[in-house]
Amino acid sequence: MTRTLVLASHNTHKLEELRRILGPLILGIELVGYDGPEPVENGLSFEENALLKARAAAAHTGLPAIADDSGIAVDVLGGCPGIFSARWGGPERSDTANVALLLWQLTDVADAHRAAGFVCAAALVLPPSGDEPGAEICELGVWQGSVLREPVGERGFGYDPIFRPEGEQRSAAELTAAEKDLLSHRTRAFSTLAPAIRDLV
């Protein structure tokens, strides 16, 4: 019998990515999309926001739910944009505006001091049972690298074109989907979460 797990996101690209990442790790569990209401992401950390989203999806669907919250953290900016990565450039939540503002803020920062990491918090929440809340687990994954001086590459999204992973000469936007799936912060977080999914779902 196939078990079902819901991804607390309306993003079809993220659903496809997580099916690729988790598919081999959670055999017999079907990952489905979510069309319910999204909660206000007012947490103060990646972990808090991932859990907020997973709780909302589990409560709405009655199914075990996973969610992630991710972004880029630049060392010289004290970890910013961090949880504000998606709206760093303003209310339009535009990838282009986000990247442009971050590059402008780092204009005078030498290459040696442009270290950054993509961070992902991956959360699993089981639906409540009666008056009891469901089990909750959250894992963190970090993909270390640095910020380039201009966008390079056509693949990926968000900050991928200006992020060069540690040990790579290419930007994240120059990697194939398969290459990125092996290295990314999302892969690191959800691979660590996978045993709990297998045990609890």
DSSP assignment of the chain:
--EEEEES-S-HHHHHHHHHHHTTTSTTEEEE---SPPPP---SSHHHHHHHHHHHHHHHHSS-EEEEEEEEEEGGGTT-BGGGGGGTT-TT--HHHHHHHHHHHTTT--GGG-EEEEEEEEEEEPPPBTTBPPPEEEEEEEEEEEE-SS---SSS-TTGGGEEETT-SS-GGGS-HHHHHHH-HHHHHHHHHHHHHHHH-
Active-site choice (68, 69, 160, 199) = 69
75 part of the active site:
no
Catalytic residues: 69
